[in-house]
Amino acid sequence: MKKVTFSRRVGFHVEVRKRVDQYFDRSGLSRGANLGMVLKTAAALMVVGASYALFLLSASSIPLVIIASFALAQGFVLVGFNIMHDSLHNSYTSSKRLNRLLGLSLELMGGSSMLWQHKHNVLHHTYTNINELDDDLEVPGILRFSPDQQRKPCHRFQHLYAFPVYSLMTFSMVIRSDFQKYFTGKIGDYQMPKPSGADSVLFFAAKALYFGYMLVLPMFFHPVLHVLLFFLLVHAVLGFTMAVVFQLAHIVGDTTFPVPDAGSSEIDNEWAIHQVETTADFAPRSRLATWYLGGLNFQIEHHLFPRVCHVHYPAISRIVEATCQEFDVVYTSYPSIGKAVSAHRTFLKRLGGPEFDHLIPLSADAQA
């Protein structure tokens, strides 16, 4: 994988970090979780446990299976956005061991914390919105997420079918893409370090446990078709919710998609400014959205301070926005989730047309 560097230094990163450091010093607050976060953690795990128990005890009632599926998916969403995400960024607590333990909540949902560290923490957070480096842009060819990706005829309609496709995200992850990444040892062109024996045992043991409690065990209580319906519904809701939230933060018309210099592989920008300009906040005044989404509606703050627990993002967002204004850095924030969804859908439609075709050379097939 080509190494991309950020060549400019204008002092923005130093200044915004200094001001946020001063905020924590003056307030005396820990950068980690507070009591409210701990209570939310307990509530999320209780939702998961109660909804799974409801499914096992719902006998052959299709309505209860559907209710339990939706409830478990919401429990997983709360765990993913609030517990797993913070923990794997080492922002839940100062204890690495506790962060590691809480990060295994991703295994609870069928994923792999080992792979997430590379895909999300390394590639996405370092090379945000850079085509062929940010793996979040590398979706199946049915979707075009970057102006620098080749346009296909089907992309003309992607603003219509993208949201249903999002419902397949976690389903594909747990049954296909995680195994593909593990066995190839690669995420796109990025070569992962060879996993240790302990990591490999955890990967396969966690997958076996997940399929055991999500598919095998329920078949002792339900007809096979009911269990498959449960499994698919959980992933449809979970995948849709998680995919939409992550797309709203980056795949919108007001964020940038920088291209490294072809010769030097440099981006003529400061890394921190790059993070701000490739990212968007949304619904910043909604306490419910912030609580439910684990602060991921403050995505700019998260990209600048991934090791700060999300409960602090609303407060430090005012510091970040003011610093951006002083340094003439574009700070994008949509007032509501609805506005962000509309911006995302509009951008998908633009990407499906010829507007950006001049940015990339035509493929051999297209030239033919």
Q: What is the pLDDT of residues 308-330, one digit of tens each?
A: 999 999 999 999 999 999 999 99
Contact criterion met (CB below 8 Å) for 149 and 363: no
- pTM, whole model, 2 decimals? 0.92
Mean pLDDT of 230-251: 94
Residue 338: band (very low, low, confident or very high) from pLDDT cuts 50, 70, 90: very high
Is 276 within a domain? no
Is 179 within a domain? yes
Residue of higher predicted confidence among 13 and 361: 13
Q: What angle separates helix 158-166 from helix 337-351, to the nearest 10 degrees?
A: 120
Contact criterion met (CB below 8 Å) for 207 and 109: no
Mean pLDDT of 91-120: 95
Residue 59: band (very low, low, confident or very high) from pLDDT cuts 50, 70, 90: low
Dihedral (Cα; 168, 257, 281, 36), 10-degree rounding: 60
Q: What percent of the chain has pLDDT over 70?
A: 97
The distance in angstroms from the start CA to the end CA of the chain is 29
- Predicted confidence (pLDDT) at residue 367 exceeds the cutoff of 70: no
pLDDT confidence of residue 95 = 95
Angstrom distance (rounded) from CA 37 to CA 31: 12
Angle value at C-alpha 259, between 255 and 260, nearest 5 degrees = 135
Is 279 within a domain? no
Rg of the Cα atoms in the chain: 21
Q: What is the pLDDT of residues 142-188, one digit of tens each?
A: 999 999 999 999 999 999 999 999 999 999 999 999 999 999 999 98
- Predicted confidence (pLDDT) at residue 366 exceeds the cutoff of 60: no
Dihedral (Cα; 303, 304, 309, 314), 10-degree rounding: -100
Q: What percent of the chain has pLDDT over 90?
A: 84
SS3 call for 136: helix
Residue 357: band (very low, low, confident or very high) from pLDDT cuts 50, 70, 90: confident
Residue 368: band (very low, low, confident or very high) from pLDDT cuts 50, 70, 90: very low
Contact criterion met (CB below 8 Å) for 43 and 321: no
Mean pLDDT of 104-129: 94
Angstrom distance (rounded) from CA 249 to CA 242: 11
- Predicted confidence (pLDDT) at residue 140 exceeds the cutoff of 80: no
**Which token pair is 306?**
């991934």
Q: Who contacts 313 (Cβ-Cβ below 8 Å, separation ≥6)?
A: 290, 295, 298, 301, 302
Is 145 within a domain? yes
Is 291 within a domain? no
Quote the number of domains for the chain: 1
Is 80 within a domain? yes
Q: What is the pLDDT of residues 264-285, one digit of tens each?
A: 889 999 999 999 999 999 999 9
> Between β-strands 190-191 and 186-187, what pairing exists: parallel, antiparallel or unpaired?
antiparallel
Mean pLDDT of 131-141: 86
**If we measure between CA atoms, which residue out of 246, 255, 250, 280 comes closest to residue 81?**
246
Angstrom distance (rounded) from CA 149 to CA 336: 29
- Residue 208, H or E segment: helix 197-211
Is 221 within a domain? yes
- Domain carrying residue 149: 32-257+332-359
Is 327 within a domain? no
Q: What is the pLDDT of residues 189-228, one digit of tens each?
A: 899 999 999 999 999 999 999 999 999 999 998 889 889 9
